[in-house]
């Protein structure tokens, strides 16, 4: 470790590859700052004041930002503050999940204005589900008095992969039914809104970026739901990889020679540390079954709920199983930190319900005591929301980011 800490690094320039990209980055900085002066914009973007003045002039005349009073004087004239133009622009977000759907309405800064829970996809035909959800969306916007023309789009968060050939052996029936189905086109036809679809881990990561006043530009959100995925944020935008499927850490190997995963590898993280995998471990072990108080007829969700509730977690065998599982998870987090030189990993998603503390402690301990990066800088691991609304809010943020800063947004479905 160095004896004296390095001075604070100078800001990385926000100059993009084109003037439109630079403009997007400056608009994103205004959004994240709430209110900010031209001088502070120049300082934080490492762009020159004339460049900032030119961009701000364009943003003001396009109606994307507005004046927002004046800051305190630091000697001379009081500097004018700028903020995002937040009048009459809304984005909708939706999670598409088996048991429950969540619909949210967000303002232009990503703030949540309204939320409702709706029925999940269940075993119903996708057409029936989407008819129902389109009705729920219509009812919510009507209830909130939101004019259709003010809604810039609907983001849909769902687990899922892109570009899989039909018939690929994805084990969950949810994918079998929904993957070939064009949710984007069908929902657009039913609601009349522009629809974008994004996987839930990326949505959760983008949400984290949008709600932070001083956002990290490079971090990872690990999202646990049915499976385990990672939303990788690089320079303030989602990193997608060559086919749009980056972040499948659920299919990194946790147990060499472990159980065969549907992806063809053995011992993938998802086969040992997803909620389903933990439930399977309980059901396969008589001692764990007894400790958790379940048998073969207990519904899977109920097994997970009992496993992660207070009483069962006090049992030594259950504790040992959870800690072993959390250890596999911590290894995957440590690999991410070392691969991407991260100083922040955020955990989110309903798969952490009841076990978030165990997984968090294991990951924090691992990155603090082992690995290359710990000698170079602090590494923060923290738990964000375990609610599925995180993904819905993130889906609305995807819509907002495409609208406000399109040059920072990669292709989404």
Phi, psi (rounded to 5 degrees) for 388: -75, -10
Residue 300 CA, chain-centre distance (Å), reads 25
Of residues 245 through 264, those in contact with Zn ion by CB under 5 A are 251, 261, 263
CB of 181 to Zn ion, least distance (A): 23
Rank residues 56 and 254 by Cβ distance to Zn ion and give the closer one: 254
Rank residues 181 and 262 by Cβ distance to Zn ion and give the closer one: 262
Decide if 272 contacts 328 (C-beta within 8 A): yes
Nearest to 204 by CA among 155, 168, 138: 155
- Kindly state the tokens that stand for 232: 């990788």
Residue with tokens 């147990």: 255
Residue 268 found at the interface with Zn ion (CB under 5 A): yes
CB of 202 to Zn ion, least distance (A): 19
Stretch that binds Zn ion, among 27-35, 183-191, 265-273, 328-336 (CB under 5 A): 265-273
CB of 252 to Zn ion, least distance (A): 8
CB of 159 to Zn ion, least distance (A): 14
Rank residues 33 and 271 by Cβ distance to Zn ion and give the closer one: 271
Cα distance between residue 3 and residue 163, in whole Å = 50
CB of 138 to Zn ion, least distance (A): 39
Cα distance between residue 148 and residue 154, in whole Å = 11
Class of residue 171 by CB neighbours under 10 A (exposed 0-12, middle 13-18, buried 19+): exposed
Query: 158: which strand partners?
Result: 199
Rank residues 33 and 325 by Cβ distance to Zn ion and give the closer one: 325
Sign of CA dihedral 300, 301, 306, 310: positive
Rank residues 191 and 325 by Cβ distance to Zn ion and give the closer one: 325
Cα distance between residue 219 and residue 325, in whole Å = 23
Rank residues 265 and 380 by Cβ distance to Zn ion and give the closer one: 265
Rank residues 167 and 411 by Cβ distance to Zn ion and give the closer one: 167
Residue 340 found at the interface with Zn ion (CB under 5 A): no
Per rule CB under 5 A, count of chain residues that contact Zn ion: 5
CB of 176 to Zn ion, least distance (A): 17
CB of 334 to Zn ion, least distance (A): 19
Rank residues 104 and 268 by Cβ distance to Zn ion and give the closer one: 268
Residues 6+ apart with CB under 8 A from 310: none
Binding mask 213-252 for Zn ion (x = CB under 5 A): --------------------------------------x-
How many residues in total does the chain contain?
413
Nearest to 329 by CA among 309, 349, 302, 356: 356
Residue 177 found at the interface with Zn ion (CB under 5 A): no
Of residues 102 through 131, those in contact with Zn ion by CB under 5 A are none
Cα distance between residue 110 and residue 394, in whole Å = 9
CB of 265 to Zn ion, least distance (A): 5
Contact residues: Zn ion, CB under 5 A:
251, 261, 263, 265, 268
């Amino acid at each position: 470790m160095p004896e004296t800490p390095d001075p604070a690094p100078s800001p990385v320039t926000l100059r993009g590859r084109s003037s439109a990209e630079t403009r997007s980055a400056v608009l994103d900085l205004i959004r994240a700052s709430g209110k900010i002066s031209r001088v502070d914009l120049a300082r934080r973007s490492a762009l020159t004041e004339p460049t900032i003045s030119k961009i701000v002039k364009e943003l003001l005349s396009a109606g994307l930002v507005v004046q927002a009073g004046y800051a305190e004087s630091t000697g001379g004239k009081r500097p004018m503050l700028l903020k995002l133009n937040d009048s009459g622009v809304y984005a909708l977000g939706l999670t598409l999940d088996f048991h429950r759907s969540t619909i949210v309405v967000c303002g232009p800064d990503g703030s949540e204005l309204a939320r409702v829970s709706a029925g999940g996809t269940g075993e119903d035909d996708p057409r029936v589900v989407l008819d129902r959800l389109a009705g729920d969306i219509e009812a919510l916007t009507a209830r909130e008095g939101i004019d259709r023309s003010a809604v810039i789009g609907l983001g849909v968060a769902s687990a899922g992969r892109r570009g899989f050939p039909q018939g690929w052996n994805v084990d969950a029936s949810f994918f079998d039914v929904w993957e070939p189905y064009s949710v984007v086109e069908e929902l657009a036809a039913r609601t009349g809104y522009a629809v974008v679809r994004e996987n839930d881990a990326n949505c959760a990561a983008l949400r984290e970026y949008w709600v932070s006043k001083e956002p990290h530009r490079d971090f990872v959100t690990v999202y646990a739901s049915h499976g385990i995925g990672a939303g990788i944020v690089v320079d303030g935008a989602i990193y997608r990889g060559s086919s749009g499927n980056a972040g499948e850490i659920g299919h990194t190997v946790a147990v060499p020679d472990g159980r065969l995963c549907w992806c063809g590898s053995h011992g993938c993280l998802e086969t040992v540390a997803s909620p389903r995998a933990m439930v399977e471990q309980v059901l396969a072990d008589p001692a764990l079954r007894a400790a958790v108080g379940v048998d073969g007829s207990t519904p899977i969700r109920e097994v997970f709920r009992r496993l992660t509730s207070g009483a069962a977690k006090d049992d030594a065998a259950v504790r040992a199983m959870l800690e072993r599982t959390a250890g596999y998870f911590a290894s995957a987090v440590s690999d991410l930190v070392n691969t991407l030189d991260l100083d922040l990993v955020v955990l989110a998603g309903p798969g952490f319900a009841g076990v978030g503390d165990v997984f968090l402690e294991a990951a924090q301990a691992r990155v603090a005591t082992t690995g290359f990066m710990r000698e170079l800088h602090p590494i923060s691991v923290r738990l964000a929301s375990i609610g599925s609304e995180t993904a819905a809010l993130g889906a609305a943020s995807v819509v907002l980011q495409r609208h406000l800063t399109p040059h920072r947004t990669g292709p989404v479905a």
